[in-house]
Amino acid sequence: MDLSFTQEELQFQQEVRQFLAENLPAHIVEARKNNGGVFVEKDVALEWQAILVKKGWAVPQWPVEHGGTDWTPSQKYLFSKECYQAGAPMLIPLGLLMLAPVIMAFGSEAQKAEYLPKILSGEHYWCQGYSEPGSGSDLASLKLKAESDGDDYILNGSKIWTTHAHLADHIYCLVRTDSDCKPQRGISFLLVDMNAPGITVEPIITMADDHEVNQVFFDNVRIPKSNRIGEENKGWTYAKYLLEFERGGGFNGDRLLHELGHLKGLMADCKVQTAGFDANGSIARQVAQIEIDLKALEIIELRILSSVSGGGNPGPESSIMKLTYTRIEQSISELSVDVLGYRGFAMDLQPDRSGERPDYISSVVPRYLNNRAASIFGGSQEIQRNIVAKMVLGL
């Protein structure tokens, strides 16, 4: 495996760095820094997406014919690295990086022409309707019923934990089209307009006091069968394909390195303000351990990069990536709260208006609380370990 970059690739890295210096607005960097949620705010993400679309760099992962780039895997890696180092927010992946690969691989030509340009432009903002009350890890037990009625399906049931459903205009749903077979064989994958009559969205407020997730109810919702991806009852195959992208579709090492930079900034502030801060070096040692773990993550990412040469799907190794970056991400946010000490009390969740401290401190506790969910969403850590045991280690 060759992990070094060529002269051309290093030149490309400079080009990206210059583009970011000239085109990444300071208010977007600031909004990302002050955000404690899983995703940045929709309008911030879409503003950055529009800037990247204009340059042709929004979705390096997509094939050129749909608006992607012809970059090598190394260029994609370097682009992602530079974006995070410059403080750019992650684009919301639900449509761009999770649904789009499924449409490209399994959608009809008409679906590709209809949906991909709108996902890219931000005209369509998608959410993911997989989980249901009682069907999370055991996703194949899902019950949302899609009954055939001529050219349509009639949907009844509900989806839960649906991130950004209150902001989305579309939802991709796993639905039950057959109950008289092995659960995995009776699932279909449907594209649903959130404005269809019979859909209601109820907020779920998280312990960080954020409104990011929801429960979505379907009450006799009529959806054309032409909105189905691929074949009826084959949705489980498409659903699993999407999950590989959800768990390991991007590079996280540099995003986390940037987070670690915030933690170090916080430590520097505390050193000035608090006599004897970290006198025994325990926090510094934990930071050093995180840096070592990040190096290991970088090598995992480069190894996957080296073996996937353009166009492939991440495979079950994506579970190793998810396990690793989630653990590191949680360590960083946990240590940030330790460093913040009494200033991180729950009463400080709202941005401080006193002007005595930088706004980003207000995002430390919400980020910590939201990051607890990272070992649950996209498939829990235990489920990822099961996948690694079976599919990677062959146990």
Ligand X SMILES: Cc1cc2nc3c(=O)[nH]c(=O)nc-3n(C[C@H](O)[C@H](O)[C@H](O)COP(=O)(O)OP(=O)(O)OC[C@H]3O[C@@H](n4cnc5c(N)ncnc54)[C@H](O)[C@@H]3O)c2cc1C
User: Rounded to whole angstroms, how far apart are CA atoms 134 and 371?
Assistant: 22
- Work out which of 202, 211, 382, 392 binds ligand X, going by CB under 6 A: 382
CB closer to ligand X out of 237 and 386: 386
Catalytic site residue from 82, 246, 301, 329: 246
Q: Which of 130, 189, 218, 245 touches ligand X (CB under 6 A)?
A: 130
Does position 380 bind ligand X by CB under 6 A?
yes
Q: What is the rounded distance in angstroms from the CA atom of residue 222 to the CA atom of residue 232?
A: 16
State yes or no: residue 163 binds ligand X (CB under 6 A): yes
Residues 175-214 that bind ligand X (CB under 6 A): 213
Which amino acid makes up residue 361? I
CB of 140 to ligand X, least distance (A): 12
3-state SS class at 225: helix
Within residues 209-238, the interface with ligand X by CB under 6 A covers 213
Chain centroid to CA 90: how far?
Answer: 8
User: Which residue is nearest to ligand X, using beta carbons?
Assistant: 136
Contact 242, 101 (CB under 8 A): yes
**Structure tokens given for 146:** 């899609």
Site map (CB under 6 A) of ligand X, residues 99-128, x = contact: ----------------------------xx
Q: How far is the CB of 265 from ligand X (least distance, A)?
A: 26
* Contact pick of 93, 136, 230, 344 for ligand X (by CB under 6 A): 136
Helix (H, G, I), strand (E, B) or coil at 188: strand
Q: Considering beta carbons, is residue 85 or 386 the nearer one to ligand X?
A: 386
* Maximum Cα–Cα distance across the chain: 74
Least separation in angstroms between CB 93 and ligand X: 11
Q: Is 373 in the site for ligand X (CB under 6 A)?
A: yes
* E-strand stretches of the chain: 126-129, 145-149, 152-160, 170-176, 187-193, 199-205, 211-224, 228-229
Choose, by CB under 6 A, the member of 87, 89, 230, 379 that binds ligand X. Answer: 379
In which residue are the tokens 């749909």 written? 66
Rounded to an integer, what distance in angstroms lies between the CA atom of residue 362 and that of residue 77?
A: 31
* Residue closer to ligand X (CB basis): 213 or 335: 213
Distance CA 94, CA 136 (A): 18
Rounded CA gap, 262 and 167, in Å?
Answer: 29
Which residue from 60, 114, 386, 388 is in contact with ligand X, where contact means CB under 6 A?
A: 386
Secondary-structure breakdown of the chain: helix, strand, coil percentages, each rounded to the nearest 5: 55, 15, 30
Q: Which of 74, 111, 131, 227 binds ligand X (CB under 6 A)?
A: 131
Determine the 3-state secondary structure of 326 from DSSP. helix
d(CA 62, CA 69): 7
Judged by CB under 6 A, the residue of 108, 137, 200, 273 near ligand X is 137
Of 370, 375, 140, 378, whose CA–CA distance to 247 is shortest? 378
Size of the site for ligand X (CB under 6 A): 19
Q: CB-wise, 141 or 289, nearer to ligand X?
A: 141
Does 22 participate in catalysis according to the annotation?
no
* Euclidean distance between CA atoms 365 and 351, whole angstroms: 11
In the complex with ligand X, the residue whose CB is nearer, 140 or 376, is 376
- Which of these segments, 44-52, 156-164, 227-235, 282-290, binds ligand X (CB under 6 A)? 156-164
Binding site for ligand X (CB under 6 A): 127-131, 136-137, 161-163, 213, 373, 376-377, 379-380, 382-383, 386
Active site residues: 246
